[in-house]
Structure 1
Amino acid sequence: MSYWDKKILREQLDKKILPLRKAVESGATSFGWIKAIREALGMSTSQLGKRVGIDQSRISRLENSEVDGNIKLSSLQNIARGLGMEFVYGFVPRGTLDDMVRDQARKIAMVRMKRLNHTMALELQELSDEDKKNALKDMVDKILIDNPKDFWSK
């Protein structure tokens, strides 16, 4: 897949992820989504357990597991069905996917620029600040287009 194809894919995914960003910004409840929704619906752990096909004590353990971050996705899917809801699972980047890729390319370029600057200084051909800035931008663009196999290894 070419750089441009990946860029379009990142842009499309960023559009799909955007609504999830609002959920991340609002934050999770301190006692977990299962318990928050169950209580908001006025449903007891026993009632939810019957809807899911497990006992009340297991519902309580699942609520605690969710808060601890030790719950299985399959358990969350079962609970969602029992609550009459859809389970949504996703990843939300802190910025955009394109920003993440560009930042990684910039890290690689900075390492390369450091070596280049050292070599140029030894040869008394050090670049001006403006030339360094332009060279860094060009290097980032080249790294993005070339897509080296070790791109995410550094």
Structure 2
Amino acid sequence: MPGAAPGAMGMGMGAAAAPMSQKPAAPAPPPGPPANISIATVDTSKVPGDQRAAITSLSNLFNSCVPLANNPAKKREMDDNTKKIGQLFWRLNAGDVSEGVVPKLLQLCAAIDAADWHTANHIQVQMTTTDWEECGFWLSAVKRLIKMRQLGG
């Protein structure tokens, strides 16, 4: 039984120590974007100057697609697009977009601004392949907007 006593004490001490070590290891997660976020409501005041082109480009792309959403399904899609791109803008404002993604995003936006849909689609597909975990939540919206703009003229 001497072997059982240290095991029991070890469990007791481990159980007592676990909550103390868990509190510092599990800080509250940083607040995420508001549930009702959209391109129109998101704060972009802290977006670095070199990244502001992405805000302008994607806002212009979205706004050019609004008149093309001429049925209820497309209007719902546009509601989803504004939320997803609003989340991207929120992350840019929070400095929460990685240094590896920012240049790709800016290249994508430059292609969109030039109406170079082939290049924009190519960059979007590359980002889907290489940066999906970080960008997946907004890339699908950008893909839909590119397609809508491309088909809508």
TM-score by length of 2: 0.27
Highest RCO, 1 vs 2 (Cα 8 Å, sep ≥ 6): 2
TM-score by length of 1: 0.27
Larger Rg: 1
